[in-house]
Homo-oligomer: A and B are copies of this chain.
Amino acid sequence: MKKALRSSPKPVRPSALQAESLRQTRREHAAETAEDYAEAIADLAASQGEARVVDLARRLGVTHVTVNRTLARLQREGLVSVQPYRAIFLTPAGRKLAEECHHRHSVVVDFLKSLGIPEKTAEIDAEGIEHHVSPGTLAAFAKYTNR
């Protein structure tokens, strides 16, 4: 029913490509929490010796309740191992994820700084951008930084 009212000039972007791009973005968002948690846990383990719920909450800018529920999910997914009133540990899979994320984070931050963006802004923007950078784009960023 209802055909195009006028001769649809230029489909600004093909619907199928945009739909696929948005689906990809949503997949990235679903993985994002796990990535930030893994990175934060590894960071804390390195700098404090261990990661506690309260440290994570401070680091991630959420309450300890949110941290607890998210850790339960990450344990279900095999990324962390938690026991009541104990420090939080990454599984091998969690450690691998943390390393990849830390690397990606560094590449993005360094790239933004090499464009002349101030450190603090680079840190803030990178925290969001890092999850949406495909391998090819990451490589292009790294190449530009070390040009």
What is the interface of chain A, defined by CB distance below 8 A to chain B? 2, 4-6, 8-13, 15, 17-26, 28-29, 36, 40, 43, 46-50, 52, 55, 58-61, 112, 115-118, 120-129, 131-134, 136-137, 140-141, 144
Contacting residue for A49 out of B5, B40, B112, CB 8 A: B5
Q: How many copies of the chain does the oligomer comprise?
A: 2
B61→A124 contact, CB < 8 A: no
**CB-defined contacts of A21 to chain B, threshold 8 Å:** 123-124, 126-128
B22→A36 contact, CB < 8 A: yes
User: Most chain-B Cβ atoms within 10 A of its Cβ — which of A25, A48, A115?
Assistant: A25
Contacting residue for A8 out of B25, B28, B47, CB 8 A: B47
B132→A128 contact, CB < 8 A: yes
The chain B residue sitting closest to A136, CB to CB, is: B121
B140→A117 contact, CB < 8 A: yes
Shortest Cβ distance from A137 into chain B, in angstroms? 5
**CB-defined contacts of A40 to chain B, threshold 8 Å:** 18
Shortest Cβ distance from A54 into chain B, in angstroms? 9
